Amino acid sequence: MVNMAKHQLTSHSVTAAAPSSTANLGPGFDIFGLAVDAFDDFVTIERSTTTNPNHSNVSSQERFRTDEASFPVRIEMTGQYHESIPLEASKNSAGLAIQKIIKDFDIKGSFSVIVKKNIPPGFGMGSSAASAAAAVVAFDTLLDLHISKPDLVRFAAEGEKASAGSLHYDNVAASILGGFVLVRPFPTIPEFIHIEPPKDLHLVFAIPSLKVPAKKTEFARKVLPENVSLGHVVHNLSNAATVVAGFVLKDVNMIARGVEDIIVEPARKHLIPCFDNVRASALDAGAFAVTISGAGPSMVAIVSGEDRLEAIANSMRTGFGQCELTCTTIKCSPSKGARIVCKK
Ligand code: HSE
């Protein structure tokens, strides 16, 4: 048990940042994650001394929930994309992850969790995962719990149930550990293998201006086949192994050769208008491979070096434009994992 009255805390407020991420990378459904420096979510955890939501620092952009149902975790949402995120702790990825730590460590006290939501939610950029990742890292530091990195990933993954409806580790593992992460979810205690990405690996994301359903990941998981043929498994297994070999050998071309996915992507691509046009256009412009980012609808191009990034971004805009869709393009690189940015 961690009793706040007895526990000498060195800080009363800790802020952590955690990066966006792309999951799957083609054949690695639920087992590959790559942290990317496109966006960061920030989470500040404070020990609660008041439940008054009307304190003077509150801008109209911030929302609260302070009811008893969320006790002892009170969620406050700020940032560009705060609006659609639930304030009830058990429905919020950061809140749910913190509640799990509180329960497992039998922690007494109550806390404010202030999420600055910079990663667009519902677009396959690891948004819910980053909030959960930053939350567990900040909470661990605030309470001096010394939770191991793999356990931080496991706690953060609990938060994913709030948005995906089920537990998956790929985005949270990347967001906490940084770089490329291979998840082994099936041992009794899941394992996370970090590999440093090649320095010349760059990515271009195209985030289409689509209205995404609430709980989009849960929705995008429901379209997946329950059974697949052994031939398809062998094909994807071979490609997944090629992706891992590419990361180990620091060979972007090899990573890209493995990105082809013949199981999940064919089942999901109808959810992304002009998917084939975007891919063809980006490959023409010099991308090594193009796939769905996580559960979509963003698409990600794998690129070696920086020379073609702008041309590839333009080509992805052209591809979506063929379906009269605009998109935001982001040129980025692999990122480090979650980090503490402020202690008070
Ligand atoms: N592996 C997950 C999925 C990632 O594809 O459903 C969700 O971001």
Q: Which of 29, 25, 19 is nearest to 156 (CA)?
A: 19
**In CATH, 201-332 is 3.30.110.60:** no
Is the shortest distance between the CB of 168 and ligand 1 below 6 Å? Answer: yes
Q: For position 71, what pLDDT does the model report? A: 58
17, β-bridge pairs: 42, 339
Give residues with Cβ within 8 angstroms of 151, minimum separation 6: none
Q: For position 72, what pLDDT does the model report? A: 85
Give 156-168 pLDDT, tens digit per residue: 999 988 877 778 9
Radius of gyration over every alpha carbon of the chain, rounded to an integer in angstroms: 20
Q: For position 81, what pLDDT does the model report? A: 87
Q: Is the pLDDT of residue 2 over 90?
A: no
Q: Is the pLDDT of residue 225 over 50?
A: yes
Which residue's C-alpha comes closest to atom 4 of ligand 1?
294
Dist. CA 295 → ligand 1 center (Å): 5
Q: For position 20, what pLDDT does the model report? A: 98
Distance CA(220)–CA(226), nearest Å, equals 13
Which residue's C-alpha comes closest to atom 5 of ligand 1?
295
- Ligand 1 closest atom vs CA 23: 4
Is the shortest distance between the CB of 24 and ligand 1 below 6 Å? Answer: yes
Q: For position 3, what pLDDT does the model report? A: 53
Give 145-191 pLDDT, tens digit per residue: 999 999 999 999 999 888 777 789 999 999 999 999 999 988 788 99
Q: For position 181, what pLDDT does the model report? A: 98
Ranges of CATH 3.30.70.890 domains, the chain? 201-332
Distance CA(278)–CA(290), nearest Å, equals 8
Tokens linked to 107: 């922690």
Q: Is the pLDDT of residue 277 over 70?
A: yes
- Ligand 1 closest atom vs CA 170: 1
Q: How far apart are the first and last CA of the chain?
A: 24
Is the shortest distance between the CB of 27 and ligand 1 below 6 Å? Answer: no
Fold of 2-196+335-343: Ribosomal Protein S5; domain 2 (3.30.230)
Question: Contact, 34 vs 330, CB < 8 A?
Answer: no
Give 8-24 pLDDT, tens digit per residue: 567 799 999 999 999 99
Long-range interactions of 86-91: CB distance < 8 A, separation 24+: 86/162, 87/63, 89/65, 89/113, 90/162, 91/162
Distance CA(245)–CA(172), nearest Å, equals 22
Dist. CA 293 → ligand 1 center (Å): 8
User: What single letter denotes the amino acid at residue 212?
Assistant: V
Ranges of CATH 3.30.230.10 domains, the chain? 2-196+335-343
Q: Strand, coil or helix: what is 65?
A: strand
Q: Beta-carbon neighbour count of residue 84 at 10 Å?
A: 12
Alpha helix (H) residue ranges in the chain: 93-105, 127-142, 149-164, 170-177, 216-222, 230-248, 252-257, 264-268, 275-284, 309-321
Quote the mean pLDDT of the chain: 90
pLDDT more than 70, % of the chain: 91
Distance CA(164)–CA(207), nearest Å, equals 19
Dist. CA 33 → ligand 1 center (Å): 9
Three-state DSSP string of 245-299: HHHHCCCHHHHHHCCCCCCHHHHHHHHCCCHHHHHHHHHHCCCCEEEECCCCCCE
299, β-bridge pairs: 206, 292
Dist. CA 52 → ligand 1 center (Å): 37
| Best mutation site among 20, 168, 222, 299 for ligand 1 pocket (most ligand atoms within 8 Å of CB) | 168
